[in-house]
Structure 1
């Protein structure tokens, strides 16, 4: 597990417990329904990010970190020759496998803060994960990504902007200088998790300092997406 960090333990427990209701967030249902106008903006911006991934064209051997229920795994499977999907939650992995029903996908249940890649990949992809990496593990996480990439490999990531409308109606964003927020499930249980937000320029600068060439962009309201390659 992730050392002795109680927030990371709570974060893992939260996503295991949330697995069955996770897609409500992406589909804007239940506590995530913000009304027709804002929901439409969400779906239009989600389509922008999907188009950016399609243009990026994740081919060859692809690794997806924090694969969740398969919302993005199903997109990666359209172009990948081989696909490895890693997540810390058995419940998430079960839902992912049930959604894809694709024998080409290799599933790995592992703590991403301790997992060591057993192969090298042409593409590493992760969605809505970097924001859950605490500040003191940022460098180590990007070292994991580096070790997972084959020479000439590429990274594509998707994440959230700091936007209250992205959250459940009963969630509150952390203060700008904080990295822990409280999340609730439909049954009222509460968990503390890490949640950090990145501006494109800040993320590019931090990755440049670690030896990456990165380009990050935002949609108008909800999403951040970025590509990165190692500097030779």
Structure 2
């Protein structure tokens, strides 16, 4: 996974250029900005900074993290409000617990779909430790849309789904990409969070909740 995204750092944002997705993308972006306005945000897996660039102007502050230096290089080259955004090369699992009041929100865009189902519960617990109880969690990700999404190549015994993605060098690599239903999200998140809200349009979903 890490190598795949390292190769795609310069071209990753092409996925946001699909004409049929533009209206839904604007809608989901508006909802993200509404939730993150005036928040002290920890961004997990910021990638190329596509979403960092969009919500940073309305946030109080942003700490954007990724475990891939090539992604951070692209992200850091973008323009942000002066003094608002800090970047850190860090794996989510290595992030230290936040100081009291350090963060009020945690954002992860197109990250949850790459988490194995068996790892999701422990990850939610870790996020609570990293950001603090009472932090607002905001996740956005893809819906599976026939004819637009990359086809699912296989499903494992735990229900994880995988796609075959073409790399810039022409080779193909298998990538974990899950597409959870609303009921699956509520069942997984329910014990670890409160105030779950889920929104979907055709191409994207958004979940907001408060970490316990």
The TM tier, using the shorter chain, reads 0.7 to 0.9
Q: Does the 8 Å CA contact 2:68/2:89 hold for their aligned counterparts? A: yes
Give the 3 Å change call, closer, same or farther, for CA 210–24 of structure 1 in structure 2: same
Which residue is 1:33 aligned to? none
- Alpha carbon RMSD of aligned pairs, Å? 2.0
2:21 is equivalent to residue 55 of structure 1? no
**1-structure distance, mates of 2:148, 2:37:** 26
2:105 is equivalent to residue 126 of structure 1? no
**1-structure distance, mates of 2:114, 2:141:** 10
TM-score (norm 1): 0.80
Which residue is 1:23 aligned to? 13
Counting matched residue pairs gives 206
Q: Offset of 1:92 from its aligned partner? A: 0.7
More helix by percentage: 1
Q: Does the 8 Å CA contact 2:160/2:176 hold for their aligned counterparts? A: no
Which residue is 1:35 aligned to? none
TM-score (norm 2): 0.87
**2-structure distance, mates of 1:104, 1:71:** 16
Q: 1:97-129 CA deviation, whole Å, 9 max, x = no partner? A: 101355431111122244334444101001000
**2-structure distance, mates of 1:181, 1:114:** 27
Q: Does the 8 Å CA contact 1:207/1:213 hold for their aligned counterparts? A: no
Match of 1:95 among 66, 70, 74: 74
Give the unaligned 5+ runs of structure 1: 1-10, 29-38
Match of 2:177 among 185, 195, 202: 195
**1-structure distance, mates of 2:173, 2:95:** 24
Which residue is 1:153 aligned to? 135
Q: Does the 8 Å CA contact 2:95/2:130 hold for their aligned counterparts? A: no
**2-structure distance, mates of 1:61, 1:190:** 38
Which residue is 2:91 aligned to? 111
Give the unaligned 5+ runs of structure 2: none
**2-structure distance, mates of 1:178, 1:203:** 14
**1-structure distance, mates of 2:104, 2:48:** 23
User: Which residues in structure 2 correspond to 1:217-228 (within 5 Å)?
Assistant: 217-219=199-201, 221-228=202-209
In structure 2, the residue corresponding to 1:107 is in which secondary structure?
strand
